Amino acid sequence: MPISVSVFDNVMKEMITTCSPDDVLDIGPGAGKYGKILQSIDAERASPMRKICVEIDDERVIQRYQLHSIYDKVINEDAANLPKKYPTLTGDVVIAGDMIEHLTKSEGVDLIEYLQYRFKHIFLVIPVDWVSLEYADHQHEAHISIWRPEDIARFSGSYCVQRLIDDGHKFILASINSITLSPRDHFVVRDKIANTDRQLLYEEGIEFGFLNR
Query: How does pLDDT run along the chain (213 residues), one tens digit per residue?
Result: 455 678 899 999 999 999 999 999 999 999 999 999 999 999 999 999 999 999 999 888 999 999 999 999 999 999 999 999 999 999 999 999 999 999 999 999 999 999 999 999 999 999 987 666 565 555 667 768 999 999 999 999 999 998 887 677 889 999 999 999 999 999 999 888 765 555 555 557 889 999 876
Q: Is residue 146 part of a domain?
A: yes
Whole-model pTM: value is 0.91
pLDDT at 1: 45
**What CATH number does residue 126 fall under?**
3.40.50.150
Query: How many domains does the chain contain in total?
Result: 1
pLDDT at 172: 92
pLDDT at 81: 97
pLDDT at 205: 82
Q: Is residue 3 part of a domain?
A: no
By residue range, what is the domain housing residue 182?
Answer: 9-210
Strand order of the sheet with strand 119-128? 73-76, 50-55, 23-27, 91-97, 119-128, 170-177, 158-164
For residue 158, the 8-state DSSP code is: E
Q: Is residue 4 part of a domain?
A: no
Q: Is residue 1 part of a domain?
A: no
Q: What gap in Å lies between CA 53 and CA 129, rounded to an integer?
A: 26
How many other C-beta atoms are found inside a 10 Å radius of the C-beta of residue 194?
A: 7
Residue 92's closest CA among 197, 12, 178? 178
Contact 25, 54 (CB under 8 A): yes
pLDDT at 203: 59
